Chains A and B, each alone.
Chain A
């Protein structure tokens, strides 16, 4: 019993110690992590005045939301299509759509860049920027949505859809009201995964973004030479707290629902 507790404590420590040290450092008045300069909210104040970081945060969040949502729609439709294929074709298409998952990010990034540049050359216009970044994120997110939606079909009674049609629903209505709700858990998982991957991504963004468009990982990496600014600690702390609060609220809601069901 004691062993189990120690083990759990160790795991939690490995997971959270770095984050707590970072949070602590975000209140360090000194610019360096090597010395404690006293408690200060200086970096938080500086953070809210930095327009480049604000812009990068905005790009990260909007690209994450847009790319996850668009990929969720495309990926779900693709999963429906793949599910209805004959066995052989299904295997091939599924394999093809999983390759990008295993593909190293740098290959995805460089090949997308080359694709963009050749399209630009072909039509004689266009430049890298927000749009190319968004498209790249949608592209690498789609396979993850497909992979998390597909297994849901196994739990689904495919005759339900036919029953809906028999009862007079149009195919679209039946799809939206019967099929999609049953796929929903998979779609949500895929969406969350896609959003996280988009926010995390550095490599693909590095190659596909253009002048004036940065996300957080790009801007943090670009500080390598002069040292990561302590503002980033403050930003990370805020993001961590935000996610914690969000999780807390979601869990609260779930447990309230459970109670209601139980009562």
Chain B
């Protein structure tokens, strides 16, 4: 029995030393970002300039990233969550305030994306990319001006409509059409939005996510609810497509860089964030991904690919900006949305 205990101890020891993994020297940072959401050259440039190795991982949704961080057992230095998730992580004390003395390039970020509801004093986050939710439509397949969410309820387009299979985004469409806030916590309003989506259901070809881009490029449908970043991508490939932010208003989303509370190398993280906020670097990322940068200087200096700049929805006017609303994490009330949306999908 003693022999067994010794072997067990040895195994645990080997396991733990094995799990200690790479040395946590000052000269590395762990970055956790969306898949395909950075220009790989940028990472290499940062490594060469600062002598800091970037250990890079990717996630596919805010929720899975959140689980990874909240569960623990992992150490990351820079994360790229979206607005509502930043709010939630601040509430749960999972983030660490950024020392902006080390991030002077924050001055390049457009005023539009500073001090938004999810981080009112901008203590935790440095905006990276942003976009809107709107309607992508095929100009050869519509017979009227598309400028309202109402188009998605027009029986002329029966079976030519793709909705976005995401709870908050789809509910936002109906809530906005009804004139409510897309962060509504009034059950009556949610129920009315739900009924509106159920009423629309027979006209909808399908609730889809990523494939919507290929389908719209192939001319499969007249209308689709998409994010502006995806809209820009599709419009680059099919000149018949156009994008509009409906007049009732819509969602503005912002992905920002944050430092988790247990970061190993916060100075390295801040150096990385500052590097990413350089106008030339921001432009490299934007030209590579196609999503719009929050970096105002990069836009003004003409560093962005002109083909992108002229795409509808790539940038917005002040008037459009005023119609937009960011998502707030709704806490427990999330369940009401989930139930409503499940009913819609099941109808």
Give A contacts to B, CB under 8 Å. Answer: 30-35, 49-52, 113, 116-117, 119-120, 123, 125-132, 135, 206, 210-214, 218-219, 221-229
Contact = CB atoms under 8 A, between A and B. Distances in A.
A129 B15 contact: no
B35 A131 contact: no
Of A34, A120, A123, A130, which is in contact with the most chain B CB atoms at under 10 Å from its CB? A34
B73 A212 contact: no
A212 B30 contact: yes
B34 to A, nearest CB: 5
A211 B32 CA distance: 8
A145 B289 CA distance: 44
Contacts of B214: 32-34
The 7 A-B pairs of least Cβ separation, nearest first, read A34-B217, A222-B35, A212-B55, A222-B58, A223-B35, A126-B19, A34-B218
Contact of A222 (B18, B34, B75): B34
B61 interface: yes
A229 B22 CA distance: 29
B20 A34 contact: no
A36 to B, nearest CB: 10
A214 B58 CA distance: 8
A212 B21 CA distance: 11
Contacts of A131: 15, 18-19, 21
Contact of A211 (B40, B75, B216): B75
Contacts of B215: 34
Contacts, number: 129
Nearest to A122: B12
Contact of B19 (A52, A127, A206): A127
Contacts of A212: 22, 30, 55-57
Contact of A117 (B16, B72, B213): B72
A221 B20 contact: no
- Output the residue of A132, A212, A214 with the most chain B CB within 10 A: A212
B92 interface: no
A49 B44 CA distance: 12
B interface secondary structure, majority:
mixed
Q: Which of A50, A117, A126, A213 has the most CB of B within 10 A?
A: A126
Given A127-B20, A128-B19, A211-B76, A35 B217 contact: yes
B213 A225 contact: no
**Residue of A222, A224, A229 with highest tally of chain B CB at under 10 A:** A222
Contacts of A50: 40
B36 A132 contact: no
Residue among A30, A117, A225 with the highest chain B CB neighbour number at 10 A: A225
Interface string B50-69: 00000111111100100000
Contacts of B64: 206
A33 to B, nearest CB: 5
- Chain A interface, DSSP helix/strand/loop, else mixed: loop
B74 A127 contact: yes
B36 A129 contact: no
28 contacts: A32-B217, A34-B216, A34-B218, A34-B238, A35-B218, A35-B237, A49-B40, A113-B73, A117-B72, A120-B16, A120-B19, A125-B19, A128-B19, A135-B15, A210-B74, A211-B55, A211-B76, A218-B58, A223-B36, A225-B36, A225-B61, A225-B210, A226-B34, A226-B37, A226-B291, A227-B36, A227-B210, A229-B36
B6 interface: no
Interface in B23-37: 30, 32, 34-37
B221 to A, nearest CB: 12
Contacts of B57: 211-214
B213 to A, nearest CB: 6
Contact of B60 (A32, A52, A113, A223): A223
Contacts of A211: 30, 32, 55, 57, 74-76
Given A212-B56, A226-B37, 17 more contacts: A32-B217, A34-B216, A34-B217, A113-B73, A116-B73, A119-B15, A120-B73, A123-B16, A126-B16, A126-B19, A131-B19, A210-B73, A212-B57, A222-B59, A223-B58, A225-B37, A226-B36
A241 to B, nearest CB: 25
Contacts of A123: 12, 16
B99 interface: no
A138 to B, nearest CB: 12
Contact of A224 (B19, B35, B74, B75): B35
A139 to B, nearest CB: 12
Nearest to A125: B16
